[in-house]
Structures are given as structure tokens and as C-alpha cells.
Structure 1
Amino acid sequence: MTSPLDDGLRGARVLVTGAAGGIGAATAAAFAAAGARVAAADLPGRPPPEGMAAALEADLRDPAGCADLVGAAAGRLGGLDVVAHLAGVMRRRADLGEVTEEDWDVQHDVNLKSAFFLLRAAGELMTRQGGGGRLIAAASQGWWSGGYGGSAVYAATKGGLVSLCRGLARTYGPAGITVNTVAPGAIDTPMLTTDLSPGALDAIVAATPLGRVGAPEEVASAVLFLASARASFVTAATLNVSGGWLAY
């Protein structure tokens, strides 16, 4: 039985996407601090935090690039135990009548399509390895609420992501692989304030029982829990990290 001081992350082989900023950077750093060997991936020209076992570049809009990234991370680390797929994009906040086909396509390609191809590649690799694994993806409070401030398309991608991960959990569960999502609320990252008026942000904070926005490190802690031995019987779940703004 795992001791209270052993979360199973020391020496774990971890791929983190979106690792150059915000929640991704905080999560990559937290895994490294826990003793994991981290392959940190982001777009070209976006360096990850220092102290990573590998820094990888990838454009996840390319399905083949998703599989290539999984293979590259496994090659650098000698396999994969955890994938934290945290890359995501909000194209812009806009009234529905202003949303373009490009707005739709970019957000769905990055937030949903890439998740399918990347997590599938990771799940198949972990199945071949044996020994189970952890797949974790970043949803949003918007998957449940529909989003706020002109983010309906972004919210739609995150709703699809939650459903996708539930399906993957059923597919890969027999191989001992858990699949979960985290749903951040208002977190202090550049995405939070993209095209959002100060008044709208104030209203969100006022509606949050804890009375503040969250820090990226607080979401990272939730990701590490889902990756740890503590969450060995948790799968197909969505962990709400919103300070109480979203309740379900």
C-alpha cells in the first residue's frame, strides 16, 4: 500500500502540453518538483520552465504532429506514465453573430481535435507498455456553464472534451489507464482577461464563494492529484477547480 508520503510521482515519465505559460507552466514545474521526469511541450518559440528533462516543440493542430509528439516524449523519457494535455486556445471573445468559421475551426482544432489524437496516441502507447497510466486534460468551467463573456465556441470545445475523456476512460480502463479532466474557473492567466471587461471580471469574483481568482499553481495541484497514486480509483471524472463559482 502506498504511504502518505509516496504519491507515485517520483521518477514518473510525464508529458505536459501547453507547458510554456499559465497553468501548463505551473503544472510542468510542479511535476518536476515532485520528482517526475517531464517532457514539456509547446509551440515553437515558447520555451518551457527550466529544469525539464526535455523541451519539445509541436503544433497540435496537426493530427500527425500529436502522435509524433507522444512518440518523441516517450523516446526522450523511455516511455510515458502520465500525459497532462493542457494546451488550449480562446480565439477571441465575440458575440455569436461575429464568430467566423476560422474562429470555430481554430478553437476546435486545438482544444478538441488535438485532444483526441494526442490522448489516443498516448493511450495506445501506454497499453502497449503495460502497467497502466494517467491521461489528464484541461477542460473549463465553460463545459458546464456555457462560458461567459462571448466564449460560447470555446465552451463548446470543452464540453466535447469532457465527453471525449469519458469515452476514453471506458476504452482504456481495462488497461489500467485512468482518464480525467480538470475544470478551472477564473484563474489568473492571460486567457482569463482576453477581451473581458473589468466589470465582467469583478462580477465573476463577486460570484465566487472564495472571493478571488485562482492561481495556476492551484490547478496544477489538482492535476498532480489525478496523476498520483492517491487517484488510482478515479476515472471519467471532472475535477472542478473554480473556488465555488461553478457547483455541480
Structure 2
Amino acid sequence: MAFNIGSGLEGKSVVVTGGSGGIGREVCLAFAAAGSRVAVVDLDQGKVDAVAAEMEAGPHLPIACDLKPIAHHKTLIEKVVTVFGGIDVLVCTAAVLIRRPSVFDVSEADWDLQHDVNLKASFFLNQAVARVMKDQGRGGRIINFTSQGWQSGGFGGSVAYAATKGGVVSMTRGLARSLAKDKITVNAVSPGAADTAMMRSGMDQAALDAQVAQIPLGYMAAPSELAGTVLFLASDHAGYITGATINVSGGWLMY
């Protein structure tokens, strides 16, 4: 085994949801640099096309897809399998965050949207891709995204979002146990404050500064600083890691 972070990823078929977002884009670029073929999945065709155009090697596959309707997952997977011949890695970065002034301002619609995208869609896409991986008979890697909020519980109006991310951790552990016999590992990445449009949404500068002040390393992570952890979990180096939640929060969360 070659000791580089992308060991074993050359030629692998990778699906990245939220692929045109701040973190998702960097994950796509990192896999492409490691020699993987990447399906860039997000809502807007123009945006996924733009990410695919930036990527090295290839061929890559930009796909516009709304993951909330579970029926869309079948079409998405069939398209990837047809073009790439299979799926080796799934990375779920797609998420929605709705911040409200207080817990009393969270509506049923806020709750439903965040759970539909962050938890429900992730579970059923994990399930569908795992079925493909099992049938292929060569194992696979699934990497989900949670948040430091899974352990802190979030703050005020972000409680519903934190609840979805706690669900992602529990889901990841359960799937890891269920799929281990098929040589499919399932892990989660837990960012703290990553400098993305989502992180900055619904916050004024004073509130943002207050959160950054809680981070021992003293700054928000660049989205690219999350990509290396994802590549490691998908690489040959992480073959014996499953059910783990990897803390990448600059020390904001410690456990």
C-alpha cells in the first residue's frame, strides 16, 4: 500500500451529494485529484457543471437532483452505474440549515425540511447505494456529514438542525454494524465552524465572532480542510475504521 492520502482511490467511482456547496465542492476536487471519477450531485445543473469543469482527470458526471423525493434516488444511481459501471464511495455532504431567533420560532415546516434533507434523504441514499455495493461484491465506503451540534445539541433556533445531525451519527453507527459483513464501511465527519455560506447564514458578524472565539485554534476552517479527512476515510488507510465520527472542529468539540 502506497502511503499517500489517496491510496487506493485511483479509478474509483465516487458520488458526492451537495457537490457544489462549500465543503462538497472541495471534496469533489480532492477525489478528482486522487484520480477518482466523481458524480457531482446538487440541485442546480449549472453549478454542478461548473464544479465538474474544474476537476482533474475524469470522466466526471455532473447531475442535478433533488434528493428529498426518495423516488429520485433510483434514477440518480442508475445514471451513475450506467456511466461509471458501479459505485465505490458515497459522500453525503448535502444539508439544509435553518436558524431561527429562538427555539420557540422553529416551525413544523422548518423541522420537516431539515429532517427530510439531512436525515431521511441521507438514510435512503445510504441504503440504496449500499445495496449496489453489496451486489457488486467488492465492498465500499460511505461517508456521512454530521456537525458539532450532534453533541452540543445546537443553540436556540438551530436545535432542529442539531437533531438531524444527531440522527446522522446514530444512523451511521447502525449502518456500520449492519453492513460490515459486506465489507462496506460507514463513517461520519463532524465539522465545527467551516467558512461556508451555510455557516454564515442567519448570523450577524458579532454572533459569528462569538462562535469563532470558542474555537481553540481561533479560526473557521477552510472547506478544503475537511476534504482530507474524507479522502482518508475513503482510502486504503481507513479499511479498519467503521462506525466512527471524526471530529474536525479545531478543538471546538473535544471527545
CA displacement 1:112-163 (0-9 Å, x = unmatched): 0001110000101000001110000111111111123621100000000110
Give the letter for the 1:24 counterpart. Answer: G
2-structure distance, mates of 1:160, 1:154: 10
Give the letter for the 1:62 counterpart. Answer: P
Give the letter for the 1:239 counterpart. Answer: I
Find the counterpart in structure 1 of residue 138 from structure 2. 131
Find the counterpart in structure 1 of residue 175 from structure 2. 168
Matched, 1:76 2:83: yes
Q: Residues 1-248 of structure 1: matches in 2 within 5 Å?
A: 2-5=1-4, 7-48=7-48, 49=51, 50=53, 51=55, 53-148=60-155, 150-248=157-255
Q: How many residues align?
A: 247
CA displacement 1:79-99 (0-9 Å, x = unmatched): 010000110011333411111
Give the letter for the 2:151 counterpart. Answer: W
Q: Report SS of the residue matched to 1:89.
A: coil
1-structure distance, mates of 2:75, 2:236: 28
Q: Hey, which bits of structure 1, 4+ residues long, moved more than 4 A?
A: none
CA displacement 1:19-65 (0-9 Å, x = unmatched): 01200001001100111000111003452212361001111110111
Contact 1:93–1:194 (CA<8 Å) still a contact in 2?
no
Contact 1:42–1:59 (CA<8 Å) still a contact in 2?
yes
Give the letter for the 1:4 counterpart. Answer: F
CA RMSD for the aligned pairs?
1.3
Q: Report SS of the residue matched to 1:168.
A: helix
Percent of aligned pairs sharing the same letter: 50
Unaligned ranges ≥5, structure 1: none
TM-score by length of 1: 0.96
- Displacement after TM superposition at 1:8 (Å): 0.5
Q: Report SS of the residue matched to 1:32.
A: helix
1-structure distance, mates of 2:97, 2:63: 22
1-structure distance, mates of 2:231, 2:46: 23
Q: Name whichever of 189-198 and 101-110 sits farther off.
A: 189-198
CA displacement 1:166-191 (0-9 Å, x = unmatched): 11111110000000000010000011
Contact 1:85–1:136 (CA<8 Å) still a contact in 2?
yes
Give the letter for the 2:86 counterpart. Answer: G
Q: Report SS of the residue matched to 2:185.
A: strand
2-structure distance, mates of 1:119, 1:216: 23
CA displacement 1:100-119 (0-9 Å, x = unmatched): 11111000000000011100
TM-score by length of 2: 0.93
Contact 1:149–1:196 (CA<8 Å) still a contact in 2?
no
Contact 2:45–2:62 (CA<8 Å) still a contact in 1?
no
- Displacement after TM superposition at 1:228 (Å): 0.6
Q: Report SS of the residue matched to 1:11.
A: coil
Q: By percentage of residues, which structure has more helix?
A: 2
Contact 1:13–1:81 (CA<8 Å) still a contact in 2?
yes
C-alpha change, 1:85 and 1:126, in structure 2 (3 Å) is same
